[in-house]
Amino acid sequence: MKKLLLEIFTWWNGHTMGTRFFTWRKGEFVGEDEFGNKYYKERDGKKRWVIYNGLAEASSIPPGWHGWMHHRVDTAPVDENYHAKSWQKPHEANHTGTPEAYRPHGSILTPEKRPEVTGDYQAWTPGQ
């Protein structure tokens, strides 16, 4: 019941009722990535879309599927046995706004206390 309510009232969790109906009516399953995202295309090949596994976050699409989604390549990664190059890092979604986000030294969100300002800074005051 909870899953049905999420599908009806939210667009950021997986897919909506409209996407489910469109996928059932016109979609053709292409493949699934290592994160559980499922990729579809329209039977005539014009439209391509993804149904996210969990939150709808565009940066969770790995590079191989990104190229296919944006029509840069015509062959889906599952059809060409795509492998990342040896020099590429494993794909990670964008962590901005999450607890895993990068917080540089001195940020107000880091647990350590920021050092006191030394004499290398002079505040600007208007009219000087």
pLDDT of 13: 66
Please tell me the pTM assigned to this model: 0.68
35-81 pLDDT, tens digit per residue, is 899 999 998 888 999 998 888 888 889 888 999 999 998 889 888 87
pLDDT above 70 (res 8): no
Question: Which DSSP category does 97 fall into?
Answer: T
Q: How far apart are CA 112 and CA 23, in angstroms?
A: 49
Among 18-27, 29-38, 97-106, 111-120, top mean pLDDT goes to 29-38
Q: Which long-range contacts (CB under 8 A, 24 or more apart) does 47-50 make?
A: 49/19, 49/23
Instruction: Give percent of the chain above pLDDT 70.
Output: 84
